[in-house]
Amino acid sequence: EVQLVESGGGLVQPGGSLRLSCAASGFTFSSYWMSWVRQAPGKGLEWVANIKQDGSEKYYVDSVKGRFTISRDNAKNSLYLQMNSLRAEDTAVYYCARDLYYGSGSPNDYWGQGTLVTVSS
C-alpha cells in the first residue's frame, strides 16, 4: 500500500524558516517524480514544486522561487521542502504527492494527509 506521511509543519514567524518532510513507503520511491502541493485555509489547491527521480531537475511555482527548495533522499525514501523567508500567504496545508507521469507535467495519483504551516507573529 502506497503511503505518504508528511511532518514538520507548525507555527513560524514571518521571515522564518521551516523544513517539511515526507516519508514514502509501499512503492519504489526512487522511480517517481514527486511534488508538493499546498492549500490555504478554505481555499483551493496550488502546485508548489516537483523533483525528478534523481533530484537533478526541480521546478517551482513563481511565488516560491528563491525561497523554497525541494529535495529528496532516495536512500531514506524521503522528500523534503525547505521553506525560507516565509510570508503570511504561505500559510497552508502542505501535501506531498506522487507524480503519475515521468518527466513532464503530471497529475498526482497518491497524496499524503498534509501538514499545516502557519506563518504568523
Range 61-90, binding other proteins (CB under 8 A)? 61-62
Query: Does residue 1 belong to the site contacting other proteins (CB under 8 A)?
Result: no
| Binding range to other proteins, per CB under 8 A, among 8-16, 19-27, 80-88, 104-112 | 104-112
DSSP state of 87: -
Shortest distance, position 121 Cβ to other proteins, whole Å: 27
Residue 105 identity (one-letter amino acid): G
Query: Does residue 114 belong to the site contacting other proteins (CB under 8 A)?
Result: yes
Query: Does residue 111 belong to the site contacting other proteins (CB under 8 A)?
Result: yes
Query: Does residue 53 belong to the site contacting other proteins (CB under 8 A)?
Result: no
Q: Are 100 and 106 in contact (CB under 8 A)?
A: yes
Phi-psi region for residue 6, left (φ > 0), alpha (ψ -120 to 50) or beta? Answer: beta
Q: Which residues pair with 70 in a beta bridge?
A: 81
Instruction: Return the residue of 5, 106, 116, 118 that touches other proteins, per CB under 8 A.
Output: 106
In angstroms, rounded to a whole number, what is the distance separating the alpha carbons of residues 50 and 58? Answer: 6
